[in-house]
Amino acid sequence: DAKTTQPNSMESNEEEPVHLPCNHSTISGTDYIHWYRQLPSQGPEYVIHGLTSNVNNRMASLAIAEDRKSSTLILHRATLRDAAVYYCILTSGTYKYIFGTGTRLKVLA
Amino acid sequence: EPEVTQTPSHQVTQMGQEVILRCVPISNHLYFYWYRQILGQKVEFLVSFYNNEISEKSEIFDDQFSVERPDGSNFTLKIRSTKLEDSAMYFCASSGRPGTTQETQYFGPGTRLLVL
């Protein structure tokens, strides 16, 4: 199973951009990069995903390195409601998603 | 926006009792999953289900567990004889076909199971 590496925790000030990194040096050509977040006592919430090109949606942006060995989830203006654990997951036609420990984002008021 | 729903939100049961956790997937999804998360630990895959068959299961999903799609909308996880260590949050998810642009799994809010 492909592995991802994320920092255990990060802090951001409210209203500032946040860049959450993920390393996936063993990514294969067909792996999608998915990002989820989990607020306390809630289910994982889909944030964004991409394959090769950078992606934007209403929640965030995903910047994918040219060699695809790393990616960055960008929250353009962090709010207190963005405090959560963020997971970067590689998927390639597999049924099971493998969750790591993710990055715990703390947003400071 | 369509979403996955789960019932009950909380379930307390005695050890050895059977529990059934219910999920209503997103309506046009045909692939269904169960995950669990023991308090303070990672989210763990249990099983995936498609076309009335288990597609993949983890070592956690032993003979005490079963899954079923009893009708066109519900998807259930049954634990036949609960153990203390089954206490966890159980998440249902659904998706379109894996390996396509529809493969993103959408998760429900979870059922918190407490076995006493």
List C-alpha distances in Å: A81 to A61, A77, A98, B115.
17, 11, 25, 31
Closest by Cα among A97, A14, A76, A10 to B48: A97
Structure tokens at B42: 């990672």
Q: Which chain A residues are Cβ-neighbours of B103 within 8 angstroms?
A: 32, 91, 93
Structure tokens at A83: 């405090």
Structure tokens at B11: 């379930």
Interface A-B: count of C-beta contacts within 8 A = 59
pLDDT tens digits for A70-106?
999 999 999 999 999 999 999 877 788 999 999 999 9
- Residue B78 CA to residue A66 CA, distance in Å, equals 45
pLDDT of residue A36: 97
Nearest to A99 among B43, B98, B104 (CB): B43
Average pLDDT score over chain B: 94
E-only strand ranges, A3-109: 9-13, 18-23, 32-38, 45-50, 55-56, 61-64, 70-75, 84-91, 103-108
pLDDT tens digits for B26-39?
999 999 999 999 99
Q: Which chain A residues are Cβ-neighbours of B91 within 8 angstroms?
A: 43-44
pLDDT of residue A35: 97
CB pair distance less than 8 Å for A93 and B45 = no
* Sign of the dihedral through C-alpha B52, B4, B113, A100: positive
CB pair distance less than 8 Å for A46 and B58 = no
Closest by Cα among A80, A86, A88, A84 to A2: A88
pLDDT of residue A2: 57
Q: Does the pLDDT of residue B7 top 70, yes or no?
A: yes
Closest by Cα among A26, A99, A53 to B105: A99
Percent of chain B clearing pLDDT 70 (strictly above): 100
Q: Which chain A residues are Cβ-neighbours of B99 within 8 angstroms?
A: 30, 92-93
Nearest chain B Cα distance for residue A13, angstroms: 25
Average pLDDT over residues B55-71: 94
The residues of A whose Cβ lies within 8 A of any Cβ of B are: 30, 32, 34, 36, 38, 41-46, 49, 87, 91-101
Q: In what order do the strands lie in the sheet with A70-75?
A: A18-23, A70-75, A61-64, A55-56
pLDDT tens digits for A19-74?
999 999 999 888 899 999 999 889 999 999 999 999 999 989 999 999 999 999 99
Q: Does B104 touch chain A (CB under 8 A)?
A: yes
